[in-house]
Structures are given as structure tokens and as C-alpha cells.
Amino acid sequence: MSQLCEIVGIPRSSYYKWRNRKESENEKFNKVLLPMIKCAYEEKNGILGYRQMTMKLNRQFHLSINHKRVYRLMGILELKSVCRKKKENYVPTTPEITAENVLNRDFKSLVFGTKWLTDVTEMKYGLQSKAYLSAILDLSDKSIVSFVIGHSNNNELVFRTFDIAHRAYPNAKPIFHSDRGFQYTNKMFKKKLDDTGMTQSMSRVARCIDNGPMESFWGMFKSEMYYLQKFNTYEELE
């Protein structure tokens, strides 16, 4: 043993101190958490990152563990979320109508129908085909007010999404926030908002964070329902 300690460059006293030390409560708890994390990871098919893993464990087992601990333990187990990051494609356009960022990243809402966010996301199927999903999200409960899927990212897709939401909640007059996509800067869309008494709000140029909760929803939606599957036809995707 003396020779081994000399080879690795540590005193014999340090070795015996380490060998005789008692396992701390934290270390004991970590040994309990490791299999729980592994089971939860396998249960969700590798979807969970360390933040979602922390929330799941705390809710399911009535714990109050910190995400930093979960991050370390997932590193020990070499577990990472299989979800891929969303690619941002920005195509500059010449807007007919622009609006101020009225929402101003105030994403808190206690009453349904006071703050709506909207966006369109792209999804692929088959070999090279694309589909587009338009949705409106209410900030009070993060529910989807309306959605439409279509073959083209055009005005009709966005207008139909808006019309469905307005028919479902005709008395709602929310701040209606979007990015500066061509559909939302269209004069006809502005007229729809004005006719229904809604207040138009737009993100600043190239500032995705101004529409953060909508972007977060797309990320979660794709991670849990899209990236882990393969869709051969439009009907499968729909």
C-alpha cells in the first residue's frame, strides 16, 4: 500500500482517512436519486433534460431537490435529452404594417383572453415535403386557443387560425402579440384585429425572446411529439 500511495503521490494518512470516512447524508441521498433518474429518463424515452427531470422528480416524489444536483447526477449517468434544438430561419420582408412591442415581455396574465401569442412553425414529412402549423396561445394558462395545419405558410393559414379563435371567444379583446412575419404585417390582418377590438403587438426585429413563451411551446411540442417520430405522409403528421 505504501508503494501505491507513493506512485499516485498521496500520503498514507490520506488514504486511511478516505477508507475510514463515513458516507455523508448527501452521498446516501444521491445513491437513492440515481436509479430514480435513470427510470424517469427511460420512462420518457430520453426526452427529459435536467430541468424537466428536476420538476418530474419533485412533483412525483414530493421532493425539493435542486436542478444543479440533477444536472451533476445525469452527468454521472451520461444521460442527456435526445431532443434537438430548433433551427431559426429568418427571412427579411418589407412589412405593410408594423406595431410597437406593447407586450414588452410582460408574460404574466391572470385572466384568460387578455394576452394572446401567435406564431407559425415548420415541420417536415416524407423525403422533402413540408407542412406548417399556426397556433394561438393564451398566456394565462398556456393553453392553445386555436391551431391550423396546412401545406403552405401563407395568409390563409394565419387568418383561419385567427378566425377560429375569434369565433370561439368573440368577446375576447387581448393584446395580440406576434413576430414580424409577413402574415402579421399584412393590412388585412391589421383590419381583423381592429374590427375585433384587439391590440396589436409585435416583437422587435430578430428578437425571438420577445415571443418567448410561444417559442418555448414549440420547443416542447416538437421535442415530445415530433422529433422522436418519422412521418411519411401529410396525413400521418396531421
Which tens digits make up the pLDDT trace of 158-201?
A: 999 999 999 999 999 999 999 999 999 999 999 999 999 999 99
- Count the domains in the chain: 2
Domain end among 76, 96, 127: 76
68 with 123, same domain: the answer is no
Q: What angle do CA 181, 182, 187 make, to 5 degrees?
A: 125
52 with 141, same domain: the answer is no
Q: Where residue 174 sits, what CATH number does that domain have?
A: 3.30.420.10
Output the CA–CA distances (angstroms, integers) from residue 62 to 20, 55, 58, in the order listed. 34, 10, 5
167 with 226, same domain: the answer is yes
Q: Is residue 94 part of a domain?
A: no
Domain end among 76, 107, 139: 76
Confidence of residue 23 (pLDDT cuts 50, 70, 90): confident
Q: Is residue 6 part of a domain?
A: yes
Tell me which residue range forms the domain holding 63: 2-76
Q: Is residue 229 part of a domain?
A: yes
Q: 172: which residues sit within 8 A by CB, 6+ positions away? A: 112, 113, 114, 116, 165, 166, 198
pTM: 0.61
Q: Is residue 91 part of a domain?
A: no
Whole-number pLDDT of residue 12: 72
119 with 233, same domain: the answer is yes
110-152 residue pLDDT tens: 999 999 999 999 999 998 899 999 999 999 999 999 999 999 9
Q: Is residue 90 part of a domain?
A: no
Domain end among 76, 107, 133: 76
Q: Whose grid coordinates read 416538437?
A: 222
Q: Check: CB of residue 146 under 8 Å from CB of residue 167.
A: no
66 with 126, same domain: the answer is no
- Cα separation, 200 vs 101, in Å, equals 9
Q: Is residue 92 part of a domain?
A: no
- Cα separation, 98 vs 102, in Å, equals 12
